[in-house]
Amino acid sequence: MKKSLLYILLYMSLIGMVLSAIFIQPRPFNHPICYNLMYALLVISGVGAPKQLLFLVLAPWYSFQWERRKKHCASGSYRPLVSVIIPACNEEVGLLATVKTILANDYRPLEIVVVNDGSTDRSDEIMRAFLRKYEALMSDIPSYKYVPIYYYYQQNGGKGSALNRGIALARGNIIMTFDADSAVHENAIERMVAYFADPQVMAAAGNIKVGNTRTILGTVQDLEYLFAFYTKRAEALLGTVVVIGGAFGAFRREVFEKLGMYHVGTLTEDIDLTFRLQEAGMKIIYAPDSLVHTEGPTTLRALLKQRLRWKRGRVEAYQIHKNFFFGLQKNLNRPLFWLILPLVILEDFAYTCGALFTIALYIYSFLTLNFVILLSVLFVCAGIYTLLFIENASYRKPIYFVTLPISWFLMNLVIFAEEYAILMAYWTFFCKREVKWQKWKRTGVADS
Amino acid sequence: MIDDTIDTKKSVNMMYSNRLSEQRVERDFALLETLALHVVHKNCLKSRISAFVTNFALFVASLLFLSILILLFDELPFFVFKIGVLTILIISISYFSSVQAKRIYLARQHRQLTSSRLMQMVYKQPPGCENESKYDDRKYLSLLKQDTAAYLYALKTKVPRKGVQ
């Protein structure tokens, strides 16, 4: 379905609901069992609401805190060698674009390590051809401007294995990892390094946005990422960052020297590493001004598979690190393992009820013609996104503000995808069924 | 005749080590170019007025937004809607107050580092002969260095321990 057509339909529904709420007397709802059931669903699904509200209240204060911290660090003079690692497996569409956007960054000294994890597509050929051209072109530029690119082809061993190979080849003090389907903002590396001027910062999560936003699915994921990374500020403010996303993360070399490399064989090696960092009491921050655009799944099937992998990976990480929940280990990040992670697990179950409540709410609203609750939910969602759009300069465009009143309807798609992923993740985990890495057809992040 | 020009381009870049100061040097053309003092003062005044107007406009806009929310909260007959409005109101208050706090903080920091203080010091100095000009420049720049918040902080606090705690 075309995006504009869907928007028109949703707007017409919205107008209909508003008119009904004003002019039509709601029908009475005389089903006490259904009513109580709906009420129970609302209460259970609201478990995560206080946490989300707290995060939304705290999130804007994160940048203020960093403004205050910045003056205590000599970030301008801090320019260590940065190694960028790009693991790639069958990424012929996006790999070269990713390398080029990194080269377009002004930060020096910089080196790029590309690890091809046994690709069977043309990515190896494309990369080698590019390197030949690049070396010829760069032969006469000053050494301080030159960015060496190391390329390594290995047998397929998974993302963790490719990252480990990259770290072994890298020489930098700061190691940044990017996905091979990303478009890196021209100042992203420079801004990220500035945070590491604070010697206590051991790792940082970058700000990831969805690049392919032309489709409905892309727009929905874009809105979802915007919300998720906004609340990440509150996580960072409280020192409880749950995950440093694989699409853009930065680490001091010491992290790998102290904690060891990425664990191979896990579905979400990024969550696993983040948990290990938090167990060791290392400081993780979030860099909201370090931007990278990544490619989101282009089909619903691919989105469901991606979410399933994420959720299953998280459940596996809970299992691996279960001894740290409510633990008393030295250096352990207690707020995370005592409060936030148990709440996240609780939220997973609340999410199930949330999805059921959403369905029940639609049925209730259309049966009774009482749209007040639904409109209230729409209003809260639109209000939150208004603030998010004001906060982010790149979203202050009419095209985004058009989505505001119908943002809740659009978010329903993600709600149900997440719901499916949570249920399937726990189901496959308890049935000990394997979940494999998935690939979807890449189109690149050209429109970012 | 009083020589009211200062060439600070080379030295200032060396002096400011932290990023904030670097950004300011990039922005503040008064520090990069040789300008007459009255032009510098005029530019400072202009930037101060524009900052004040922007701050004030933002403050009014956020107050207006919050007032609308409060009005909605008061006028709407539905309890559920009131909860929704209250949620947005809480988030908005936090957001707008953080924006204002950040702007005030940055404005204060800018004022601390602003060149106008350097200029005032220059005015206070007696017109020196040519032999003393290098010495004077160094003196003024050391004064400027003392003014930076980063330098003051470095004097006051210990350098944090590096590496894994």
Q: List per-residue pLDDT tens for chain A, 448 residues long.
A: 688 899 999 999 999 999 998 888 888 877 888 888 888 888 888 888 889 999 999 999 998 888 887 766 766 678 999 999 999 998 888 899 999 999 999 898 999 999 999 999 999 999 999 999 998 888 877 777 889 999 999 999 889 999 999 999 999 999 999 999 999 999 999 999 999 998 899 999 999 999 888 888 999 999 999 999 999 999 999 999 999 999 999 999 999 999 999 998 888 899 999 999 999 999 999 999 999 999 889 888 999 999 999 999 999 999 999 999 999 888 899 999 999 999 999 888 888 888 888 888 899 888 888 888 899 899 999 999 998 998 888 888 888 889 999 999 999 888 888 888 888 888 888 888 877 766 666 666 655 4
* pLDDT on residue B3: 36
Portion of chain B with pLDDT greater than 90, in percent: 7
**Residue A227 pLDDT:** 94
Q: Looking at beta carbons, which residues of chain B come within 8 Å of A375?
A: 81
Tell me the chain A residues in contact with residue B155 when contact means C-beta distances shorter than 8 Å: none
**A vs B: CB pairs below 8 A:** 100
pLDDT at B155 over 70: no
C-beta separation of B9 from B32 below 8 A = yes
B87 contacts on A by Cβ (under 8 Å) = 53, 380, 383
CB atoms A75 and B16 under 8 Å: no
Contact between chains at B94 and A61 (C-beta distance less than 8 A): yes
| Distance between CA atoms of residues A336 and A240, nearest Å | 5
Cα dist from A254 to A149, A171, A279, A376, B164, whole Å: 23, 12, 15, 49, 8
Cβ-nearest to B84 among A197, A254, A380: A380
Q: Decide if B16 and A76 are in contact by the 8 Å CB cutoff.
A: yes
Q: What's residue A330's pLDDT?
A: 87
- Top-confidence residue, A311 or B133: A311
- A138 Cβ contact partners less than 8 Å away, ≥ 6 residues apart: A146
Neighbours of A339 (CB within 10 A): 14
- Radius of gyration of chain B measured on its C-alpha atoms: 23
Contact A383 B21 (CB under 8 A): no
Cβ distance B149 to A376 less than 8 Å, yes or no, reads: no
Smallest CA–CA distance, residue A34 to chain B, in Å, is: 19
pLDDT given for residue A56 in this prediction = 94
State whether residue A258 sits within 8 Å of chain B by CB: yes
Q: From the list B22, B80, B87, which residue is nearest A372 (CB)?
A: B80
A255 Cα to chain B: minimum distance (Å): 8
Q: What six digits make up the tokens of A152? A: 């390594």
pLDDT digits (tens, 9 = 90+) for B22-46: 555 555 544 555 566 677 778 778 8
A278–B contact, CB cutoff 8 A: no
Would you call B98 an interface residue with chain A, using a CB distance cutoff of 8 Å?
yes
| Nearest chain A residue (CA) to B22 | A76
Provide CB contacts within 8 A for B155, sequence distance 6+: none
Cross-sheet strand order for the sheet of A283-294: A149-154, A110-117, A82-88, A174-178, A248-252, A201-210, A283-294, A182-184
Inform me whether the C-beta atom of residue B163 falls under 8 Å from chain A C-beta atoms. Answer: yes
User: Tens digits of per-residue pLDDT, B88-103?
Assistant: 999 999 998 998 898 8
CB contacts under 8 A, B 131-150 vs A, are 149-150
Cβ of A76 within 8 Å of Cβ of B19? The answer is yes
Cβ A292 vs Cβ A183: under 8 Å:
yes
Run of H or E residues at A203: strand A201-210
Q: Would you place residue B14 in the very low, low, confident or very high pLDDT band (cuts 50, 70, 90)? A: very low
Name the residue of chain A whose CA is nearest to B157's CA.
A72
| Distance in Å, alpha carbon of A235 to nearest chain B alpha carbon | 16
Residue A348 token pair: 């997973």
Judge whether B50 is closer than 8 Å to chain A, CB to CB. no
Which chain A residue shows the shortest CA-CA distance from B83?
A376
Q: Please give the residue of chain A at the shortest CA–CA distance from B58.
A: A390
Q: From chain A, pick out residues whose CB is under 8 angstroms from the CB of B80.
A: 372-373, 376
Contacts of A279 in chain B (CB under 8 A): none
pLDDT given at position A235: 94
> Which residues of A are less than 8 Å from B153 in CB distance?
71-72
What sign does the dihedral A178-A182-A188-A189 (CA atoms) show? positive
B-contacting residues of A 124-143, CB under 8 Å?
none
Query: Cβ of B153 and A375 within 8 Å?
Result: no
pLDDT digits (tens, 9 = 90+) for B41-64: 787 788 778 878 877 887 888 788
d(CA A258, CA B134): 51
Q: Using CA atoms in the order A165, A166, A168, A174, what is the torsion angle rounded to 10 degrees?
A: -150
Spatial separation of the C-alpha atoms in residues A297 and A246, rounded to whole Å: 15
* Better-scored residue on pLDDT, B99 or B20: B99
Cβ-based contacts of A194 with chain B (< 8 Å): 19
Record: contact A384-B91, CB cut-off 8 A: yes
**CB proximity A199 to B under 8 Å:** yes
